């Protein structure tokens, strides 16, 4: 005899199973995974091939039980970031093979934990920098990859902290070690990372110059920085007039020609922190070599590289800095700029808007419950 059952002691609550009595054996059962039509599903976004946002497709997956030391997370918010675009076009030395799931920074709530999970329970608010997979209703990650998030925070405001604010904070305070009164140039000052630099630079008491198009100059001024319209002005000439002895630090997320043009604007012993994607393995190696090899003609100026991927190797400073940033967000000391909120299923539209170059601050994908 065969009957459909659910919530049997030895199987998943999220699956139905077929329970078959063995002939000739009383009260003895074989549990078999149910046909797929009886299992619960969730939606996620997949890059099906390289190219434009149209290559982002909505697909469905079956929910499964978390494995040992793994957590199933219900995603609340996922940031739409430049790495998502660059990876989709293959403009990164570390771009994954297609098909893959984009989404590198998210905030969610623990839905279920696997055996051996010690520090998180269902209902706990968490964040993660998984690099991939955040464009989804659910995400599975090892417990060690999660960061606790105060439940009092708005998850939409917390999402930009996970990558953009972390990048800015660590570039400012770990790579450059800025102090109040330092003069800095922020290249690409109006985007998600750029506005994070402006916000944290204001908090640190820096004198800031920000490169952005004229239509976005108001956001640069809003944080107390001096805007430079790269479409109408040569930023090199502007800085040489304004700071004839050079600036203390330059933070560049654009790469390319900006590195070579901006480097001479540093004062003696100044530092340029490059945090942008070089675009290719060759460019990555060239930038890395330039940062490591001494240059007797540089007058003590240095090029340093920042990459959030180091979290895989040195997690402790990342946990410390996330805790600081979430505390500052709770205290109202930082204010992420969010210019667009999209439902998860409109990930393609959000990516298209980001590619147009008209976005000020951050774009986020939000679960429907938070959009009501």
Domains (ranges, CATH) in the chain?
A: 2-38 (no CATH), 41-149+337-371 (3.90.180.10), 161-310 (3.40.50.720)
Contacts of 71 (CB under 8 A, 6+ apart): 110, 112, 113, 114, 117, 120, 126, 140, 141, 142, 143, 146
Distance CA 344, CA 196 (A): 24
Rounded to the nearest 10 degrees, what angle do helices 82-89 and 347-355 cross at? Answer: 90
DSSP state of 233: S
- What is the reported pLDDT for 369? 81
**What is the full per-residue pLDDT of the chain (372 aa) written as tens digits?**
333 333 434 444 444 333 333 333 333 334 345 555 568 999 999 999 999 999 999 999 999 999 999 999 999 999 999 999 999 999 988 889 999 999 999 999 999 999 999 999 999 999 999 989 999 999 999 999 999 999 999 999 999 999 999 999 999 999 999 999 999 999 999 999 999 999 999 999 999 999 999 999 999 999 999 999 999 999 999 999 999 999 999 999 988 889 899 999 999 999 999 997 665 445 555 555 555 555 645 678 999 999 898 887 889 999 999 999 999 999 999 999 999 999 988 999 999 999 999 899 999 999 988 877
DSSP state of 172: I
Q: Which of 342, 327, 266 is nearest to 299 (CA)?
A: 266
Contact 213, 229 (CB under 8 A): yes
- What is the reported pLDDT for 371? 79
What's phi and psi for 247, nearest 5 deg?
-95, 160
Using CA atoms of 285, 290, 291, 296 in order, give the dihedral in degrees to the nearest 10.
Answer: 160
Contacts of 291 (CB under 8 A, 6+ apart): 274, 302, 303, 304, 305
Contact 273, 249 (CB under 8 A): yes
- What is the reported pLDDT for 24? 37
Contact 126, 105 (CB under 8 A): no
């Amino acid at each position: 005899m065969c009957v459909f059952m659910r919530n049997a002691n030895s199987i998943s609550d999220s699956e139905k199973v077929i329970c078959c009595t063995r002939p000739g054996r009383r009260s003895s059962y074989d549990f078999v995974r149910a046909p797929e039509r009886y299992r619960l599903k969730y939606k996620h976004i997949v890059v099906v091939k390289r190219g434009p946002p149209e290559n982002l497709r909505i697909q469905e997956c079956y929910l499964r039980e978390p494995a040992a030391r793994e957590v199933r997370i219900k995603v609340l918010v996922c940031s739409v970031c430049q790495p998502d675009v660059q990876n989709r076009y293959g403009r990164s030395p570390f771009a994954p093979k297609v098909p893959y799931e984009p989404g590198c920074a998210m905030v969610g709530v623990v839905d279920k934990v696997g055996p051996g999970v010690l520090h998180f329970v269902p209902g706990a608010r968490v964040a993660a920098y998984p690099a991939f997979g955040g464009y989804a209703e659910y995400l599975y990650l090892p417990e060690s990859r999660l960061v606790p998030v105060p439940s009092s925070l708005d998850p939409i405001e917390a999402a930009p902290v996970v990558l953009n604010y972390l990048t800015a904070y660590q570039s400012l305070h770990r790579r450059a070690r800025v102090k109040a009164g330092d003069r800095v140039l922020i290249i690409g000052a109006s985007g998600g990372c750029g506005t994070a630099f402006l916000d944290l630079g204001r908090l640190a008491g820096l004198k800031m110059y920000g490169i952005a198009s004229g239509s976005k100059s108001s956001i640069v001024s809003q944080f107390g920085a001096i805007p430079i319209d790269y479409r109408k002005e040569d930023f090199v000439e502007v800085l040489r007039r304004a700071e004839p002895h050079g600036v203390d630090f330059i933070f560049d997320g654009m790469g390319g020609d900006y590195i070579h043009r901006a480097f001479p604007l540093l004062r003696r012993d100044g530092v340029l922190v490059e945090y942008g994607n070089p675009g290719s393995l060759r460019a990555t190696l060239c930038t890395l070599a330039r940062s490591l090899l001494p240059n007797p003609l540089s007058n003590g100026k240095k090029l340093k590289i920042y990459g959030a991927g180091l979290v895989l190797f040195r997690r402790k400073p990342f946990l410390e800095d996330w805790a600081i940033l979430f505390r500052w967000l709770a205290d109202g000391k930082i204010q992420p700029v969010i210019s667009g909120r999209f439902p998860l299923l409109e990930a393609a539209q959000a990516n298209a808007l980001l590619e147009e170059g008209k976005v000020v601050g951050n774009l986020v994908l939000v679960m429907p419950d938070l959009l009501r």
